[in-house]
Amino acid sequence: MRPHSSALALGLSSTIAVSQAASLAEICTVEYVTTALPVENLGLAVTIDPSSVSVALTTNRTVSSNWYQTAVIDYCTATFAYSHNGINNDTVQVSYLIPAPDKFSNRYLSTGGGGLAINSGTTYTSGGVAVGAVAGITDGGFGSFNTQYNAVFLEAEGTVNWQATYMFGYQAHHELAALGKQFTRNLFNVPEADKVYSYYQGCSEGGREGWSQAQRFADLFDGLVTAAPAFRLSQLQTNHLSGGVLEEAAGYFPPPCELEKIRNLTIAACDGLDGKVDGVVARSDLCKLQFNYEDTIGEPYYCAASTGGGGATPEQNGTVTREAVAIAKVFTEGLKDSKGRQIYLNPQPGSNFADAQTTYNADTASWEPFILSLGGEWITRFLQLENKSNLDSLSGVTVDQLRDWMAFGMQKYYDSLQTTWPDLTALQAAGTKVLHLHGEADSGIASASSVHYYESVRKIMFGDLSYSDGTKALDEFYRLFIVPGGEHCGPNRAQPNGGWPITTLQTVIDWVEDGAAPDTLDNNGKAITSICRWPLRPLWSGNGTSFDCVFDQESVDSWAYTFDAFNFPVY
């Protein structure tokens, strides 16, 4: 159905229907949006409910985030629902922000979620409007845009909701984008001969969602920004328990202040290894190779008592202990099983010890492991299929148990949630570009996780080439940037001069539309002048006056892990 003929059939003014739709206000009506619904045969096996359309007009809104430059935008929010053919009348809602006709730049943008949410509201879509794109989110069919996947994961205890799992895994995003691209074309009457460029942007779970598309639907997007992806999900979630398990085994639970002091001393000791003392550990690899945590033993730490939101904590006053340093050391090396074989990886030195945090128990007046629900719920709900949001305790949980949970979840969800398919040959052939970035000091998802996937793709696709020819071949369509000092999906309070590259969407647009492949990323005016493309690493010389991206084999090797605790490849 061509929207203009339908618009005429509905008796709307023909001035709305010409290729330059007149105004945002004229687009932003239920009638106009209904005529533009993507009811064409897109091969999706879905049925759109035309009576579900709703619209809302927003003008003069100032938006800013880590994902685009501050802008003032006008947009129409158009929401509609569809159901899956052959499934008992399920309902999936999608919502698209539509820019004004004079700002529309023949672009579509899909955006992702975070944690166990499949969307991030308008956090990323606003940036899409700012670059003249129609920008979409999905509710995954979970009941509302605010309902998370874990809320619908169980049909009953013991019974997985596989439809919701495949929707979260990849299917909902495929549908969001396929519908969104056609909807965009219909809304603005873009002729068949003209291209509508299609993009994706997301971080964390949203980074995983982006990869779920890149690995399966080679030409769905022209360009993707996938940041700090939550892929290798079974390992990632289970590993959130690793610090607590190490502490249980050691029988020592460091107060948060003690770990924070070790982090501060690590940053101070490693800051200059990149050639510039600016509070940023831009070479956490050199830090890993050269810094000895034992140098911090005996250093005093102090944190005042707090009644903060996370529960009251007492004053913490002491000196860094041998026990805490031992935990920091094995934690940073990444989890190993009882036979000494590598299970997984952890954040770079200088990062916060988020997965080793303890919490104060006022009843026992002692510190105990803080069990992050992303980790605990992975075990209780997603592996054991109990209607429980966390483990009660880590007591009795061994490193070998963590390994076996990882393997079990990896097998169970290999084709839905794991998201580490390493062969991007079809993506390369389609000409799609992927800009992958990760904060070097990410304490929620280790930056080495992204390096491991990049290197898996390199070995699978170009393993017969030399290392440098292999990375050159990847450079044609897939580039990874490690953001010095960066935390999880944004700048780092502990290393503020690291900054964060907020122009990544524009960067991938320039790569796709103008062939301007990015060699570096800017870091939003902070001290590190640019962010190097993996495997190059930043290095200052001349006492911090001159900056370069250099190749250093020993540093690159320090990011490499072989997960030999598993008898199968872990990409």
Ligand X SMILES: *[C@@H]1O[C@H](CO)[C@@H](O)[C@H](O)[C@H]1NC(C)=O
Catalytic residues: 204, 442, 488
CB of 486 to ligand X, least distance (A): 16
Question: Which listed residue (211, 291, 301, 454) binds ligand X by CB under 6 A?
Answer: 301
Q: Are residues 91 and 81 in contact, defined by beta-carbon separation less than 8 angstroms?
A: yes
Q: Which listed option, ligand X, Ca ion, none, makes contact with residue 264 (CB within 5 to 8 Å by class)?
A: ligand X
CB of 389 to ligand X, least distance (A): 8
Q: Which listed option, ligand X, Ca ion, none, makes contact with residue 271 (CB within 5 to 8 Å by class)?
A: Ca ion
Say if residue 422 is preceded by a cis peptide, omega within 30 of 0. no
Binding to ligand X by CB under 6 A, coded x per residue (else -) over 147-166, reads -------x-xx---------
Q: Which listed option, ligand X, Ca ion, none, makes contact with residue 274 (CB within 5 to 8 Å by class)?
A: Ca ion
Binding to Ca ion by CB under 5 A, coded x per residue (else -) over 246-285, reads -------------------------x--x-x-x-x-----
CB of 318 to ligand X, least distance (A): 7
Contact call for residue 14 and ligand X (CB under 6 A): no
CA distance 246 to 244: 5
User: For residue 445, how many other CB atoms are within 10 A of its CB?
Assistant: 28
Query: What three-state secondary structure class fits 367?
Result: strand
Question: Which listed residue (247, 260, 271, 278) binds ligand X by CB under 6 A?
Answer: 260
CA distance 237 to 230: 9
- Phi and psi dihedrals of 401, rounded to 5? -65, -40
Alpha helices (H) in 413-539, listed in sequence order = 425-430, 447-462, 467-475, 504-514
Q: Which listed option, ligand X, Ca ion, none, makes contact with residue 144 (CB within 5 to 8 Å by class)?
A: none
Beta bridge partners of 198: 108
Q: Which listed option, ligand X, Ca ion, none, makes contact with residue 546 (CB within 5 to 8 Å by class)?
A: none
Q: Which listed option, ligand X, Ca ion, none, makes contact with residue 47 (CB within 5 to 8 Å by class)?
A: none
Angle (CA) 374-136-533 rounded to 5° is 65
Minimum CB distance to ligand X smaller for 222 or for 278: 278
Question: What b/e readout covers 288-316, taking b as 16+ CB neighbours within 10 angstroms?
Answer: beebebeebbeeebebeeeeeeeeebeeb
Contact call for residue 89 and ligand X (CB under 6 A): yes
Query: What three-state secondary structure class fits 198?
Result: strand
Minimum CB distance to ligand X smaller for 58 or for 506: 58
CB of 142 to ligand X, least distance (A): 13
Show contacts with ligand X in window 387-406 (CB under 6 A). Answer: 387
Contact call for residue 257 and ligand X (CB under 6 A): yes
- Phi and psi dihedrals of 211, rounded to 5? -65, -30
CB of 192 to ligand X, least distance (A): 34
Closest CA to 40 of 172, 166, 173, 192: 192
Stretch that binds ligand X, among 102-110, 111-119, 299-307, 407-415 (CB under 6 A): 299-307
Contact call for residue 175 and ligand X (CB under 6 A): no
Stretch that binds ligand X, among 124-132, 258-266, 392-400, 426-434 (CB under 6 A): 258-266
Question: Which listed residue (543, 553, 567, 568) binds ligand X by CB under 6 A?
Answer: 543
Minimum CB distance to Ca ion smaller for 63 or for 527: 527
Q: Which listed option, Ca ion, ligand X, none, makes contact with residue 89 (CB within 5 to 8 Å by class)?
A: ligand X
The site that binds Ca ion (CB under 5 A) totals a number of residues, namely: 5
Closest CA to 495 of 442, 541, 555, 556: 442
Contact call for residue 264 and ligand X (CB under 6 A): yes
CB of 59 to ligand X, least distance (A): 7
In 144-215, DSSP assigns E strands to 154-156, 159-160, 197-203
CA distance 413 to 418: 6
Contacts of 119 (CB under 8 A, 6+ apart): 111, 112, 113, 137, 138, 139, 140, 145
The site that binds ligand X (CB under 6 A) totals a number of residues, namely: 18
Contact call for residue 144 and ligand X (CB under 6 A): no
CB of 424 to Ca ion, least distance (A): 33
Q: Which listed option, ligand X, Ca ion, none, makes contact with residue 482 (CB within 5 to 8 Å by class)?
A: none
Query: Which of 249-253's residues contact partners 24+ apart within 8 Å by CB, and which partners?
Result: 249/398, 249/399, 250/323, 250/326, 250/327, 252/321, 252/323, 252/324, 252/326, 252/327, 253/358, 253/366, 253/367, 253/368, 253/369
Minimum CB distance to ligand X smaller for 259 or for 505: 259
Q: Exposed/middle/buried for 351, CB within 10 Å: 0-12, 13-18, 19+?
A: buried
The DSSP call for residue 531 is E
Contact call for residue 364 and ligand X (CB under 6 A): no
**What residues line the site for ligand X (CB under 6 A)?**
60, 88-89, 154, 156-157, 257, 260-261, 264, 301-303, 317, 387, 494, 543-544
**What residues line the site for Ca ion (CB under 5 A)?**
271, 274, 276, 278, 280
